[in-house]
Amino acid sequence: MIKHAIKLGVMAASPCNYLPSEKESIAIVMEDDVLSSEGYNALVQAGFRRSGNNIYRPHCGACTACHSLRVSAEHFQPSKSQKRQLNQLKRLDLQLKDTLDDNWFELYDRYISARHRDGSMFPARKDDFLSFVQSDWLRVRYLHVYDQNQLIAIAVTDDIDAGYSAIYSFFDPDHSWSLGSLCVLAQLTLASENQKPWLYLGFQIDACSAMRYKEKFKPNQRYIAGEWVSLEK
């Protein structure tokens, strides 16, 4: 864990992308000596996330709706629907790689065009995506999911001592299975196999419907007021 104060740069408040009635502000780590695998490992455990080479977390003046969420890989207890999805997962081929397959952008372009045409990532741009997921000082892994040798999903995952940190997933928008949830289950499965204690899923915002899927993976903890706590009864 971080044992000393670190210098943060706080961005000016702007309209929140998740809660339209709120303003958001981001605190970005400004110390280059913390931008390392070891530093990031500690900062993830303090509720931070990564975008490219930047490490950040919310620093909003009036709203505290964002909580970093992590799921225990060792003690994961799938729901009935997740058990069915785990059976589906057994029929797929999972490969954790250090590089992306050559045809990754075709899949990404289809996903963005079908699911996020009204968002800031449309139209899909290769350079923008790579600058978002890659890092100069961290081992980034790309979990490829194949169905009968056909690439159907990729989950970008940071590999740190504290666990896996799920950065972004994209998948075949026409596939009949819930590939977004399957990507989370695949990362949990590999985390358990590789003795990683946690899967970090980013920020949970209860009032945002697009975020609610994260809380369904249990047991989980949220980073609130400087510590990880469980809200489960």
DSSP string, 56-109: EEE--SS----EEEEEESSS----HHHHHHHHHHTTSEEEEESS--TTHHHHHH
Single residue among 19, 47, 66 that ends a domain in this structure: 66
Same domain (yes/no): 124, 221: yes
Same domain (yes/no): 102, 213: yes
What confidence category does residue 4 fall into, taking pLDDT thresholds of 50, 70 and 90? low
With respect to residue 1, please indicate whether it lies within any of the assigned structural domains. Answer: no
What confidence category does residue 33 fall into, taking pLDDT thresholds of 50, 70 and 90? confident
pLDDT value of residue 231: 84
With respect to residue 142, please indicate whether it lies within any of the assigned structural domains. Answer: yes
CA distances from 55 to 1, 7, 211, 232 (A): 15, 12, 20, 28
- pTM, two decimals, is 0.94
Residue 51's domain spans which residues?
Answer: 8-66
Residue of higher predicted confidence among 42 and 210: 42
With respect to residue 3, please indicate whether it lies within any of the assigned structural domains. Answer: no
Single residue among 47, 66, 85 that ends a domain in this structure: 66
As beta bridge partners, residue 50 has 55
With respect to residue 192, please indicate whether it lies within any of the assigned structural domains. Answer: yes
Residues 114-170: pLDDT tens digits? 999 988 899 999 999 999 999 999 999 999 999 999 999 999 999 999 999 999 999
Q: Count the domains in the chain.
A: 2
Same domain (yes/no): 42, 81: no
pLDDT value of residue 1: 47
Average pLDDT, integer, range 35-39? 93
